[in-house]
Structure 1
Amino acid sequence: MKKSDLAGRIAAGLLAAGGMAAPAFADGAPAGFDPQALFAPLSLPDAANAFRDSAGKPGPQFWQNRVDYAIQAEIDPASHALRGDETITYTNHSPDALDVLWVQLDQNAYRADSRGSLGSPRPRKDFTDGYQLDAVEVDGKPVHYLVDDTRLRVDLPQALASGGKQLKLRIRYHYTVPGTWGGRTAVTPTRNGDIYEIAQWFPRMAVYDDLRGWDTLPYLGSEFYLEYGNIDYAVTVPSNYIVAGSGELTNPKDVLTTTQQQRLAKAAQSDATVMIRTPQEVNDPASHPKQGGTQTWRFHMEHTRDVAFAASPAFVWDAARINLPDGKHSLAMSVYPVEGVGKDKWDRSSEYVKGAIEHFSSKWYPYPWPVAVNLGGHGAGMEYPGIVFDGFDDKGPMLFWISAHEIGHTWFPMVVGSNERRSAFMDEGFNTFIDVYASDAFNHGEFAPKRDSEYAPKGGNPVDEILPLLADADAPTMMAPADSVAEKYRHSVSYFKGALGLVLLREQILGPERFDPAFRKYIATWAYHHPTPSDFFRFMSSEAGEDLSWWWRGWYLNNWQLDMGISAASYVDNDPSKGAVVTLASKQKLVMPATLRIDYADGGHEDIRVPVEAWRQSATPKLALRTGKRISKLTLDPDHKLPDADRSNNTFNMP
């Protein structure tokens, strides 16, 4: 029977108990479930106000400061040193006059005396001296400053007024680039030369916002919170180096051969990967327009919070066109050493980047930049705007998954600029969520389903794999600050639970027809801004047309488990023609909408959806089923879509 036919014959409601068959487990309100607790009014961590409204959108008085950078940098391969000279144009849109500026010095995390080094459970053996500041000036004049761990306080001789007033902060500096132990930024040796993977490489402004004023959490390794603007940067390297970086290369005629320029032009029109610099050309002097000395590569990037780059004499280089909505295009590029060459290895990298970005762009929000680079290096598995750092020895499904995941960070947090240092699930969880569907979409599901080996053995069901975490009394909630989440829980909480929460919201609570437009609008609304968890919770509830307080409370603010079941069922007046009454029960604090399958004695079956409202007034709700014929079996969640802790009580056999 069609669901539309069944709908008129089934009523779900609270009925008086009586005449039930023997229960699968004891009747009565289970100790774990309290409807009044789950469905109580919810106070979110951040109150709605004129800056962030009750619909989860920027309010009428919303403001955000702006940071633009102009940077000159030079790499000295002999000493592994980077020397930089940056000018920051800082625009104060806040209502406050600012008498100091705070700047992030993330390279100082590599010092032996840094908070990150001393507080890490894994002792580090290698260190650098961090940033060495050669000069700090405001509007051309030296100023007093204070370095405290990974923060720099600049004392202004005159407060920067509100209302869009600007100043220019110039910092000249140098530091030693870590070896591969640096993780996210490193010098990686390869057969044909070192690869410089350069990130967190210039002092970056801390965010001053309406939530905390200056957000000055020290850098302990839990990623970033950065302000938006435009960045122009120039990198001077030996003439035999190739540089690939965030944004658009603005002087290709100065640093590329005529052949390479022609190949790039061809790639911009090609859905198939085009070689820009072949493996055979890596050691060929003719693959550089200049012999000896240095070259300066210049890049420009708009609407960005950061830039990163890679430089090496060892790069193989290829590219392919990315097709974006409304007839627009971008360019997928991959750079990697000859060690990464292979038909199931980096030969397919640009294909993977292209496919992932085309999916993310059509499904959620268009890719905003002219180039997307995948770097094959020592394997940081790290994302930056317009460029990601992966491992040159990755191959097969893992190369696709890591490439798609890292480039997926374009949307979270590079476009939607949430605070990664405080709310990791809005970064890793949201990105892992969109990864799931990218794997399904790529090349007819070649690498589907997307699995994370850390928590998902081959063939496992994700809703079962989350159960140990939900049952762990020591596990943090997704609202725990990123730096407070132990490595034991980092992936399972921030990535896996964060992603599964959105999958369940999309597929089991709202449905794609309501979730997808709301999620797209959330991305567009908060693009290049800084939403909080409270903004997201309010936005999705408002746009989807659903009070989701119970879901935010159970899955996000708490680590509540789910264990629903069927405790009893009987025919009305012992007569199958009059329908049946089914009693549900929950042994845990969280409940969800669920499918109830009715298997009939004649071999047919029907499904109904039990709404979460069935649980609002009772821990043992009763459903009236106007079925009209004999039932053989009842099953709650027959397709195993919910993270039910104990499925032994999900099936009830009728006498």
Structure 2
Amino acid sequence: MIKKIICTSLSAVMLAIGQVSAQTNSVYDYTEAFDPIFYTQNGSPYRSASGKPGHAYWQNRADYTIRVSLDEQTDIVSGHLTIDYTNNSPDDLQHLWFQLDQNLFQEASRGQATIPLQDSRYGSAASDFNGGFQLTNLRFSDGSVANYEVIDTRMRLELPKVLKAGGQSVTLEMEFSYTVPEYGADRTGILDTKNGKIYTIAQWYPRVCVYDDILGWNTEPYTGPGEFYLEFGDYRVEIEAPADHIVVAGGELLNPAEVWTTEQLARYKQAFESERTILIRSAEEVTNAASRPNKKRLTWKYKLDNAHDFAWASSKAFIIDGARINNPSGKIALALSAYPAESNGGNAWERSTEYTKASIEHYSKKWLEYPYPVAVNVASNVGGMEYPAISFCGATAKAGNLWGVTDHEFGHNWFPMIVGSNERLHAWMDEGFNTFINGLSTEEFNKGEYHKKFGNRNSMAPAFSRPDLEPIMSSPQNMKEKNIGILAYYKPAYGLRLLRDEVIGAERFDSAFRKYIAHWAYKHPTPDDFFRTIENETGENLAWFWRGWFKNNWALDQAVRSVEYEGLDPKHGAIITIDNLQKMAMPVVIEATTVSGKKIRKKLPVEIWQRNTSWRFKLKSTEALTRVVIDPDNVYPDMDPYNNVWPNN
């Protein structure tokens, strides 16, 4: 027995030596790629090893009541904020942390200090602008004055007594104000139009930070690139503005009869019942004073439940139109668009409501039903930014560009508005997931009106494989700004499409993805929760994929080394040798063409690379081969397609 083992091992060693000497140099390490230890933590009562929330999962809650006023002369937003905060955690809390995102626009903020000299998305257009919150009269419901400290874009507030674990609440009030920046890091701002300013108002009130079982208090400062991580709760918001303004918001309008004219109110109600876009306020009416109530100021009252943010927009320049959104359950919502005369016509914003309706209906049917009463699209100087039930998109966008940005921003209602991941740290779980579902939506919209088929999807491989590219699982603050588009949007979306279409299969993947959304709707998942859910639902061990594509910046390079014939006779089939030259593993699709023009395909599972850097296999054929190619459909991110072909020209 021992002798047999020694002889067998010696034969294996000699064979391996022969293979190494023959093949092209490879940096692939199968023990690293398929290391069975991927997760650094086991499941817990809070987060199941299966990817679902654990039986003891918890999250805290923040409910907001806000009364606010817009001053068009000074561009100042000011108001009164009441927060009811509930501690559902197992920990007693002695203080609260808040996000003060408008403090990014203070001259001395960390974000301003880290914005590069070259053109950047994350700043203010006016170099002399000095914004930020003014906070006064912070007090608790018992009348006691709050002790607090503002640290850049955060505020630490001491509690008068310990907030007990397991559901105890505290109520805090404050007055706040700030000057709206003209260009607020492409997330909020003011657009000048010929008929008046358009205010797109976001990150406009102090918001409580998330306290979770991962990091405790999540206090990553806001510097621009990273977006948001917020607690869910209910919103009651009253917005006072000049009476000639129309105020739209991501919430249900509670007093339409008080803020619309009689004719506009009738059209507004008609829009709830219409499959086609209904004009509520036309371009001609924008310049007609009679199209607004004859008052100085009006208060618009809104509510939004089970959301983690609230945004709004206000202008006297708005054309308004709307249509009904149909949910699978039969429940309806209202698609609404607000845009200036400059954006009207030429296959532009007059189609915004059509796009909004189609986008919401697609995602609602495919993934999870849309939960909000409205979906509002606002034309602005913000290129594209999402908040619950409302999006800000570029006022000059039209045709396919307007569809693309509208579909993308409303897709964000699923990621991260419903599935509340930590955008500040994991942008790919927000932008990447959304970009992935956008591709499927665009294929379906209006029989593919704006769908562009990729002739060669792996043409993106060089961009994805750049040695200087950070891993996807870097925080957006930890990426070069020029790389954010690739790393937060395109590379993760490409990876999910690859996993769906080539590794797992569309039906199995979509089912698992729906389960992930359902498990984590209105909760706070981590990357591991996503990875575990997909693995447990599909039954696949995908550590090799997560490790190579998401955790590391590994490249893929598969190559055809040689083609021979069994017994030197083509009638007996071909022996094909392929190599894996770079660090990433992937399945292999081979297509051979015979002398008669017949195509023969074979797909090899990723497991061929579990203990090999090269692989020999037999292709059943009875004719000589004229061509053998790896990845004939050009869907894998192979960095060197030239060595995918035999004979190599």
TM-score scaled by structure 1? Answer: 0.92
Deviation at 1:79, TM superposition (A): 1.2
Shift in alpha-carbon separation, 1:26–1:242, aligned structure 2, 3 A? farther
What per-residue deviation string (whole Å, max 9, x for no partner) do you get for residues 142-174 of structure 1?
121111111111101101001111110112111
In structure 2, distance between residues paired with 1:132 and 1:467: 48
In structure 2, distance between residues paired with 1:205 and 1:276: 36
In structure 2, distance between residues paired with 1:129 and 1:323: 41
Worse overlay, 552-561 or 639-648: 639-648
Shift in alpha-carbon separation, 1:380–1:629, aligned structure 2, 3 A? closer
- Give unmatched runs, 5+ long, in structure 1: 1-14, 451-458
Q: Does 1:633 align with 2:627?
A: yes
Could you tell me which residue of structure 2 aligns to residue 454 of structure 1?
Answer: none
In structure 1, distance between residues paired with 2:529 and 2:281: 46
Deviation at 1:628, TM superposition (A): 4.3
SS of residue paired to 2:103: helix
SS of residue paired to 1:490: helix
Deviation at 1:641, TM superposition (A): 1.1
Could you tell me which residue of structure 2 aligns to residue 322 of structure 1?
Answer: 325
- Residue in structure 1 matching 2:32, options 27, 33, 37: 37
On the 8 A contact 2:26/2:580 being kept in 1, the answer is no
- Residue in structure 2 matching 1:643, options 622, 637, 646: 637
What per-residue deviation string (whole Å, max 9, x for no partner) do you get for residues 183-222 of structure 1?
3221221111111110001110100000011000111112
What per-residue deviation string (whole Å, max 9, x for no partner) do you get for residues 492-511 of structure 1?
11111011011111111111
Shift in alpha-carbon separation, 1:237–1:563, aligned structure 2, 3 A? same
Could you tell me which residue of structure 2 aligns to residue 131 of structure 1?
Answer: 133
Q: Does 1:144 align with 2:138?
A: no
In structure 1, distance between residues paired with 2:421 and 2:248: 26
* Count, aligned residues: 626
Shift in alpha-carbon separation, 1:276–1:26, aligned structure 2, 3 A? farther
On the 8 A contact 1:56/1:536 being kept in 2, the answer is yes
Worse overlay, 567-576 or 254-263: 567-576
SS of residue paired to 1:36: helix
Q: Does 1:268 align with 2:277?
A: no
Could you tell me which residue of structure 2 aligns to residue 71 of structure 1?
Answer: 66
Give, as a single letter, the amino acid of the residue that structure 2 aligns with 1:137. Answer: R
Q: Does 1:215 align with 2:218?
A: yes
Deviation at 1:322, TM superposition (A): 1.4
Give, as a single letter, the amino acid of the residue that structure 2 aligns with 1:433. Answer: F
Q: Does 1:361 align with 2:356?
A: no
Shift in alpha-carbon separation, 1:613–1:182, aligned structure 2, 3 A? closer
Give, as a single letter, the amino acid of the residue that structure 1 aligns with 2:478. Answer: S
Deviation at 1:410, TM superposition (A): 0.7
In structure 2, distance between residues paired with 1:577 and 1:50: 61
In structure 2, distance between residues paired with 1:295 and 1:301: 20
What per-residue deviation string (whole Å, max 9, x for no partner) do you get for residues 114-166 of structure 1?
11111211386133341111111122321211111111111011010011111
- Give unmatched runs, 5+ long, in structure 2: 1-10, 118-122
Could you tell me which residue of structure 1 aligns to residue 120 of structure 2?
Answer: none
In structure 2, distance between residues paired with 1:439 and 1:356: 9
Deviation at 1:627, TM superposition (A): 3.2
Deviation at 1:77, TM superposition (A): 1.1
Could you tell me which residue of structure 1 aligns to residue 543 of structure 2?
Answer: 549
Worse overlay, 433-442 or 38-47: 38-47
- Residue in structure 2 matching 1:245, options 246, 249, 254: 249
- Residue in structure 2 matching 1:103, options 85, 98, 101: 98
Higher RCO structure, 1 or 2 (CA under 8 Å, sep 6+): 1
Could you tell me which residue of structure 1 aligns to residue 565 of structure 2?
Answer: 571
Q: Does 1:475 align with 2:469?
A: yes
Could you tell me which residue of structure 2 aligns to residue 384 of structure 1?
Answer: 387
Could you tell me which residue of structure 1 aligns to residue 521 of structure 2?
Answer: 527
Q: Does 1:170 align with 2:165?
A: no
Could you tell me which residue of structure 1 aligns to residue 289 of structure 2?
Answer: 285
In structure 2, distance between residues paired with 1:491 and 1:398: 16
What per-residue deviation string (whole Å, max 9, x for no partner) do you get for residues 518-563 of structure 1?
0011111101111111111111111111100000010001111111
Shift in alpha-carbon separation, 1:620–1:183, aligned structure 2, 3 A? closer
Deviation at 1:182, TM superposition (A): 5.2
Could you tell me which residue of structure 2 aligns to residue 8 of structure 1?
Answer: none
On the 8 A contact 1:29/1:619 being kept in 2, the answer is no
In structure 2, distance between residues paired with 1:462 and 1:575: 36
- Residue in structure 1 matching 2:419, options 391, 416, 419: 416
Give, as a single letter, the amino acid of the residue that structure 1 aligns with 2:25. Answer: P
Q: Does 1:231 align with 2:235?
A: yes
- Residue in structure 1 matching 2:574, options 567, 576, 580: 580
SS of residue paired to 2:217: strand
Q: Does 1:400 align with 2:395?
A: no
Give, as a single letter, the amino acid of the residue that structure 2 aligns with 1:90. Answer: Y
Give, as a single letter, the amino acid of the residue that structure 2 aligns with 1:332. Answer: A
Give, as a single letter, the amino acid of the residue that structure 2 aligns with 1:226. Answer: L
Shift in alpha-carbon separation, 1:428–1:278, aligned structure 2, 3 A? same
Q: Does 1:599 align with 2:593?
A: yes
On the 8 A contact 1:27/1:567 being kept in 2, the answer is no
Question: Runs of 4+ in structure 1 displaced over 4 angstroms?
Answer: 15-19
SS of residue paired to 1:163: coil
Q: RMSD of the TM alignment (CA)?
A: 2.0
In structure 2, distance between residues paired with 1:61 and 1:27: 56
On the 8 A contact 1:107/1:150 being kept in 2, the answer is yes
In structure 2, distance between residues paired with 1:467 and 1:633: 25
On the 8 A contact 2:457/2:636 being kept in 1, the answer is no
Identity among equivalent positions (%) equals 43
Worse overlay, 83-92 or 128-137: 128-137
Shift in alpha-carbon separation, 1:304–1:394, aligned structure 2, 3 A? same
On the 8 A contact 1:463/1:642 being kept in 2, the answer is yes
Could you tell me which residue of structure 1 aligns to residue 3 of structure 2?
Answer: none
- Residue in structure 2 matching 1:56, options 43, 47, 51: 51
